[in-house]
Amino acid sequence: MDGHLIHLNREEEYSEGASRGRSGRVEGMDKDLLQLVFDNMYNGIYIADGQGVTLGVNKTFEEMSGIPAEELVGRSLYDLVGPDNYFSGAASLVVIERRAPVTATYSTKTGRKLLVKGKPIFDPDGEIRYIISTIWDLTVVQYQQEIDADMARDHLLAEEDIIACSDQMGQVIDLALQVANSDSTLLITGETGVGKSLLGKMIHRASARKDRPLMQINCASIPESLIESELFGYEAGSFTGADRRGKPGLFEMADGGTVFLDEISELPLHLQSKLLGVLQDKEFFKIGGRRVRTVDVRLIAATNRDLTRLVAEGRFRADLFYRLNVVPISIPPLRERREDIPLLVSYFLDKFNRSHNTYKTFSGELIEHLSRLPWRGNIRELENTIERLIVTGSTGERLLFSLVEGEEIREDRPLPEQLAEFEEKILLQARRRYGSTRKIAAAIGISQASVARKLHRIDMEEKRGNGK
C-alpha cells in the first residue's frame, strides 16, 4: 500500500508551498501521518498533474473504484478514458480544458458510478500544477449482484451523467451532497429541464439508502383518482375493480429507501394532508385498510412552480410546504449559468456521436451562438437540440444555425403551407423543450392527443423525406 503518496512528497516545492504561510496546518505532520490521513478519508482522492498524468490515488479510491493504484499511477488520463476503457470520462481532463473546477459523474470499467469534483491548483506562472479530485461513490450494489459485469457496464454507460462547471451548479451539488446522508425532506425547485430529476437520483445514490429502492412518481401524469392508490396502495377487496389481492403503494415499496415526488404542486389537497401525516408520523393507512402501516422513507419532492404562490392562493397546504421546504435546493436556469453551456455542448456532442456513430464537431462560432440562446427548456432543450443537429444537420452549419434560430418570414408562398411549416416548428421546439406530449399539450394549449398525432405525422414525413 505504500507509495501512493510518494509523488506528493517528492515534489519538494509543493510540500513547502503547502506549509508555507499556512503554518499549523501541515507543519508537525510527518509523511506517515499525511499518508494515514490521505488513505483514511471518507472520500476517494485522485491526484493528477497539469498534463493529466495520474500521480496518486488514496486507498478509499481504490476501494470505491475497484481499481488498484498500480494500474493508474504514472498513466495519463487521456489513455485511461473512453467508452471501453477504465473510465467513461474524467473530470480532470475537463479541468485542464476549462482551467476551472468541474463536477461530473462517470462510470468505471469495474461497474461503478462515481461523482468527481476536480479542482485545479495553479503554480505561480498560472499553469495548472495539480488537479485534486474528490470522489463520492454513487454505485448501487444491486446491479452487480443481478447481472454480469458487461451488462452492468452497458447499463452504467446508458445512464445519464451530471456535468457542470458553473459556481452556481457547484454550490447546488455541494449542498446536495451535504444533505444526501441526512434523512431530511428535500424540495428541489427549478424550471423545466434544469435537472431536478437527475439531481434527485444523484442524492439518493449518494445517501446511505442507495441500495434500497428509489421510487419515483410524477403527480401530474397520473389521474387524480389513482394517485392515492399509487402512493399508498390498497387492501384486498377494498373497492370494485381493484385487484382482489390488494396492492402495495409506492411508500411501501420504497421502504428503507427514497420516494421522489415529481411535480408535487399537482398533488390534490386531500392527499397533501395524507402525505403530511406520513412525513410526521411515518405511518399511514392503505386505502380500505384498518391496520396502520409504518414506513421508513426519505422524501424528495420537486416542482417547477412557485409553491409560495400556490400556498398564498390556497392551492397548496402551508403546513406541508414548510415541512417539505426544510432544505430547499433551487437549480438555476441554464441562461443564468452560461459557462455550463459549452461544457454541456461538448458532453452531449460526444454522447450522441457515440450513440449515432457519427463524428460531428461544432465550430467555435456555433458553440458561441448556442451559448447565447435563451434555452427556456434548459438542459433538456439543449440536449434535444444537439441530438437533432447531429441527426439531421449533415449539410453544413448554415442549416444548423437555422435549426436553432428560426428563419425569416416570407410572403411569396401559400399561407396554408407556411402555417403548416410554422406549426411544425412550434411543435418541434416544444418537444425539445418539454420532452413529453403531456407537457407540450399543457404549454401550447391543445390536447395531448392532438400533440401526439401532429408529432407523429411530422416524424413520418421526415422519415419519408430522409429516405428519398
Ligand X SMILES: Nc1ncnc2c1ncn2[C@@H]1O[C@H](COP(=O)(O)OP(=O)(O)OP(=O)(O)O)[C@@H](O)[C@H]1O
**Beta carbon of residue 176, minimum distance to ligand X (angstroms, whole number):** 12
* Residue whose CB is less far from ligand X, 54 or 216: 216
- Strand 258-262, strand 214-218: pairing: parallel
Out of 44, 56, 190, 249, point to the residue binding ligand X (CB under 6 A): 190
Long-range CB pairs of 382-388, under 8 A, 24+ apart, other chains included: 382/334, 382/341, 382/344, 382/345, 382/348, 383/344, 383/348, 384/431, 384/432, 384/433, 384/435, 385/432, 386/345, 386/348, 386/349, 386/352, 387/348, 387/352, 388/428, 388/432
The reply to whether 197 sits near ligand X by the rule CB under 6 A is yes
The reply to whether 192 sits near ligand X by the rule CB under 6 A is yes
Build a one-symbol-per-residue string for 380-419: x at contacts with ligand X by CB under 6 A, - elsewhere: x--x------------------------------------
Nearest 5°: the CA angle 55, 60, 63 is 105
The reply to whether 60 sits near Mg ion by the rule CB under 5 A is no
Site for ligand X in 231-270 (CB under 6 A): 262
- How many Cα atoms within 13 Å fall on the side-chain side of residue 242? 21
The reply to whether 164 sits near ligand X by the rule CB under 6 A is yes
What is the biggest distance separating any 2 CA atoms in the chain, rounded to whole angstroms? 83
Give kind and range of the element (H or E) at residue 120. Answer: strand 113-122
Size of the site for ligand X (CB under 6 A): 18
Q: Which does 345 bind (CB under 5 to 8 A by kind): ligand X, Mg ion, none?
A: none
Looking at residue 28, the DSSP 8-state letter turns out to be T
The reply to whether 88 sits near ligand X by the rule CB under 6 A is no
**Beta carbon of residue 263, minimum distance to Mg ion (angstroms, whole number):** 8
**Beta carbon of residue 62, minimum distance to ligand X (angstroms, whole number):** 27
Build a one-symbol-per-residue string for 157-196: x at contacts with Mg ion by CB under 5 A, - elsewhere: ---------------------------------------x
Dihedral angle sign, alpha carbons of residues 384, 385, 386, 388 = positive
| Site of grid cell 463536477 | 103
Which of 91, 50, 51, 67 is closest to 4 using CA atoms? 67
Nearest 5°: the CA angle 191, 195, 201 is 135
**Cα–Cα distance for residue pair 219/231, rounded to 1 Å:** 10
The reply to whether 437 sits near ligand X by the rule CB under 6 A is no
The runs of H, that is alpha helices, within 181-268 are: 196-205, 224-232, 250-253
Q: Which does 160 bind (CB under 5 to 8 A by kind): ligand X, Mg ion, none?
A: ligand X
* Residue whose CB is less far from Mg ion, 193 or 233: 193
The reply to whether 163 sits near ligand X by the rule CB under 6 A is yes
* Residue whose CB is less far from ligand X, 274 or 438: 438
188 to 84, 116, 164, 335, 336: CA distances (angstroms): 35, 21, 17, 18, 17
Candidates 13-21, 88-96, 194-202, 282-290; binding stretch for ligand X (CB under 6 A): 194-202
320 to 66, 205, 267, 280: CA distances (angstroms): 43, 25, 11, 10
- Cβ–Cβ < 8 Å for 165, 175: no
Out of 154, 160, 183, 350, point to the residue binding ligand X (CB under 6 A): 160
Q: Which residues pair with 330 in a beta bridge?
A: 189
> Distance from CA of residue 18 to its chain's centroid?
34
Q: Which does 195 bind (CB under 5 to 8 A by kind): Mg ion, ligand X, none?
A: ligand X
* Residue whose CB is less far from ligand X, 56 or 101: 101
**Beta carbon of residue 439, minimum distance to Mg ion (angstroms, whole number):** 10
The reply to whether 58 sits near Mg ion by the rule CB under 5 A is no
**Beta carbon of residue 100, minimum distance to Mg ion (angstroms, whole number):** 28
**Beta carbon of residue 2, minimum distance to ligand X (angstroms, whole number):** 38
The reply to whether 304 sits near ligand X by the rule CB under 6 A is yes
**Beta carbon of residue 398, minimum distance to ligand X (angstroms, whole number):** 27
Out of 54, 65, 133, 197, point to the residue binding Mg ion (CB under 5 A): 197
Residues that bind Mg ion (CB under 5 A): 196-197
Contacts with ligand X, residue ranges (CB under 6 A): 160-164, 190, 192-198, 262, 304, 379-380, 383
